[in-house]
Structure 1
Amino acid sequence: MQTSEAARHADFSAIRYAQCWEDADILVEGLNVQPGDTCLSIGSAGDNALALVAAGAGRVIVLDLNPAQMACLDLRMAAYQALDYPELLELIGSRPSRRRRTLYRRCRPILSIDARRFWDAHGASIDAGIGGAGKFEHYFAIFSRRVLPLVHRRATIQRLLQGGGRATRLHFYEKKWNTIGWRLLFQVFFSRFVMGRLGRDPSFFRYVEGRVADRILFRTRHALTELNPADNPYLHWILTGCHGAALPRALRKEHFQTIRENLHRIECHLLSVEQYLDQAGENVIDRFNLSDIFEYMAEENYHRLLDRICRSGRPGGRLAYWNMLAPRHRPASMADRLQPLDELAHRLFLKDKAFFYNAFIVEAIR
């Protein structure tokens, strides 16, 4: 049985991501999810698995190595059942609330025993909003509360988030936002060292070369100028600790009832992709949401897993994944089995609101 390289190096004892920091809008479009499709999705906090349900998937197989991440999805699924739509947003932290513990108590009877035990021990995280409970979110909270105020005042931040036309955004960025202080702060806080200590697991940088902060700063400029900050829920959370008027796909009102009625389509497995595919068989999965798992692997392990995915996937199926810092693309040796959909992927990447990634990859199984 093939084992996961990430499992041998990373710490999976606590919530790493309390939200999926990937844009489900481009994920769903890239995968071209069809009614009844069987989808495999990396768990994280579960938002993208829920978005696949909203897109009409008939079965969503959620995989994660971390029980804490599964507890995040379990509580979300309970919230869709037990709460109404505004209450869901309160529990997540998208909207202000003083009654999150009460909302949790309504969800609690629906939770699995393990998830109930986990969240009972994390009352402070519930009070603050479960969308802020992860290490990555704590990292952003330090940035927004302690670091960013050193270079930009609250009024400047609010003006940025109002967005506007492209010319207005470019002018504001160059004249008001892109100061020497901003650039220096960015180089320090988003360095490999600081991000590894406070944000991501240090082992996730094993295959990263070059200056991390430079790459993220380039993509941040794109998000603040080429995209409209007013429409970006991820940017709003990073800068303010909650969502603005725009919300991630799974949290939009138009998808709430569809998700609520189809939660039975989700099945969760505390397994690696490698372990699950070893038992899944061949030609059984239509769509693969693979997050950015490949950049945590040596290139030979990435190629080996791609081969296994192709055998489990149905012809015409698709896989989508992100590169944040380590480049991963289908090797030429697999040209007869995987077709890169580069034009589609690049078009989607240009509107990716989760802007810190360096590439979005979509490939079709031949």
Structure 2
Amino acid sequence: MSSEIAAKASFEIIRYAQCWEDADILVKGLDVKEGDVCLSIASAGDNSFAMLVNNPKKVICMDLSQAQLYCVELRVACYKHLSHQEFLELLGSYDSNNRLKIYEKIRPYISKEAQEFWDDKKDMIEKFGAAGTGKFEKYFAIFRDFVLPLTQSSSNLKKVAESMTKAEREEFYDNKWNNFMWRSLIKLFFSKTVMGIMGRDPSFFNYVEGSMYDHISGRIKHAFTNLDPSLNPYFYWILTGKHSKNALPMNLRPENFEIIKKNIDRLEWHKMSFEDVVKKCQSENLKINKFNLSDIFEYMSVDNYRTILNQILSVSDKGARLAYWNMLVPRSRPDDMANKIKKLEDLSKDLFYNDKAFFYCNFHIEEVI
């Protein structure tokens, strides 16, 4: 991440105990291949692990937050030493009465510092799972426990988990779900003020313009009607606090578990700014083929965004791809850099339409010329 945000936001807590970006469109857009060297913003690590499914040579996982990297370290130990079922129980994807027992099983395989960090969160692990311990997940838990019951009946909530045709989803959303109370509370709960206090760091909204409600409400409708919410792991967690067996993120699916386990030692993680990672790559004469940049440009000025793009060019192979999301701050390759980086607009548009992490306003795949 840029050092600009490091000067403004606190990174001492877990902000995201799971990745809230769709790994399916990320890996497809980047076209991760055998032999690729990938650079990935860590968050909780899920999308960095998903990149291992395509057998890259290396995934360099970086973050400014040591707390986020403890999430990565915990997952590495899980892939190495747990069964798939145990892993999902510990994370909170599935209900479990054995989370603390499972945690004790993998505890010896994480660093002393990580042990102290996670030991302090045993109560939360037992109640919510490790993937429910972040600030953003707590924000959604408040939404689930206090907002949803005021806006939706239990039958409505059950209906969302059922498979419906597009026409049935549209009828259900328009006539049942999108009621007055829902619209009113969504406008309040997903405002910049409330989200800044309870969800994201307030400094993350420094470059945001426009209405959060207008954006969020439109994207929720898209996720409800054009996509199938019963197959959406992000939607399902927001509503229930867990995953369903029919809706798991890419890195948690059973068909990918053994592949990631086999490739787990190809992943390394570092507490570094983006600038420092670039310097490290330059000193090692290491070229990067694929960049998972999360939504880091959301938090910086246009000038710093351009600086990061130039740093990327300095460590990129020809044909290297960049993937990143916009939530409310529009960022895409500047026109005067068109001779260095090209926008893959059709691909980006197609992937964004199918983005299951529905709160973003855009998704960009760009390629170094």
TM category, shorter: over 0.9
- CA root-mean-square deviation: 1.1
| Superposition pairs of residues 122-141 of structure 1, within 5 angstroms | 122-127=121-126, 128-141=128-141
Unaligned stretches of 5+ in structure 2? none
Cα distance in 1 for partners of 2:231, 2:94 equals 16
Partner residue, 2:259: 258
TM-score relative to the length of structure 2: 0.97
Partner residue, 2:102: 103
Unaligned stretches of 5+ in structure 1? none
Task: Answer whether contact 1:41 1:62 (CA < 8 A) is retained.
Answer: yes
Task: Answer whether contact 1:160 1:172 (CA < 8 A) is retained.
Answer: no
Q: Determine helix, strand or coil for the equivalent of 1:262.
A: helix
Partner residue, 2:336: 333
Cα distance in 1 for partners of 2:336, 2:359 equals 29
| Superposition pairs of residues 185-224 of structure 1, within 5 angstroms | 185-224=185-224
Partner residue, 1:289: 292
Q: Determine helix, strand or coil for the equivalent of 2:265.
A: helix
Task: Answer whether contact 1:341 1:363 (CA < 8 A) is retained.
Answer: yes
Q: Determine helix, strand or coil for the equivalent of 2:7.
A: helix
Cα distance in 1 for partners of 2:216, 2:258 equals 36
Task: Answer whether contact 2:166 2:226 (CA < 8 A) is retained.
Answer: yes
Q: Determine helix, strand or coil for the equivalent of 2:280.
A: helix
Cα distance in 1 for partners of 2:112, 2:339 equals 46
Q: Determine helix, strand or coil for the equivalent of 1:39.
A: strand
Partner residue, 1:19: 18
Task: Answer whether contact 2:298 2:329 (CA < 8 A) is retained.
Answer: yes
Partner residue, 1:359: 362
Partner residue, 2:345: 342
Q: Determine helix, strand or coil for the equivalent of 1:9.
A: coil
Task: Answer whether contact 2:2 2:296 (CA < 8 A) is retained.
Answer: no
Partner residue, 1:319: 322
Partner residue, 1:86: 85
| Superposition pairs of residues 62-73 of structure 1, within 5 angstroms | 62-73=61-72
Cα distance in 2 for partners of 1:149, 1:274 equals 45
Cα distance in 1 for partners of 2:295, 2:2 equals 17
Partner residue, 2:31: 32
Task: Answer whether contact 2:2 2:300 (CA < 8 A) is retained.
Answer: no
TM-score relative to the length of structure 1: 0.98
Cα distance in 2 for partners of 1:154, 1:9 equals 41
Task: Answer whether contact 2:82 2:106 (CA < 8 A) is retained.
Answer: yes
Runs of 4+ in 1 over 3 A off after TM superposition: none
Partner residue, 1:272: 273
Q: Give 1:161 deviation, angstroms.
A: 2.3
**Pairs aligned (count):** 365
Aligned residue type for 1:361: H
CA shift in 2, pair 1:35/1:3, >3 Å:
closer
Q: Give 1:120 deviation, angstroms.
A: 1.3
Aligned residue type for 1:68: A
Task: Answer whether contact 1:38 1:57 (CA < 8 A) is retained.
Answer: yes
Cα distance in 2 for partners of 1:32, 1:288 equals 11
Task: Answer whether contact 2:344 2:366 (CA < 8 A) is retained.
Answer: yes
Task: Answer whether contact 1:3 1:275 (CA < 8 A) is retained.
Answer: no
Partner residue, 1:229: 229
- Percent of paired sites with the same residue: 49
Partner residue, 1:114: 113
Partner residue, 1:10: 9
Q: Determine helix, strand or coil for the equivalent of 2:44.
A: coil
Question: 1:341-362 CA distances to partner (integer Å, 9 max, x unpaired)?
Answer: 0000000000000000000000
Task: Answer whether contact 1:283 1:315 (CA < 8 A) is retained.
Answer: no
Q: Give 1:280 deviation, angstroms.
A: 1.1
Partner residue, 1:49: 48
Q: Give 1:320 deviation, angstroms.
A: 0.2
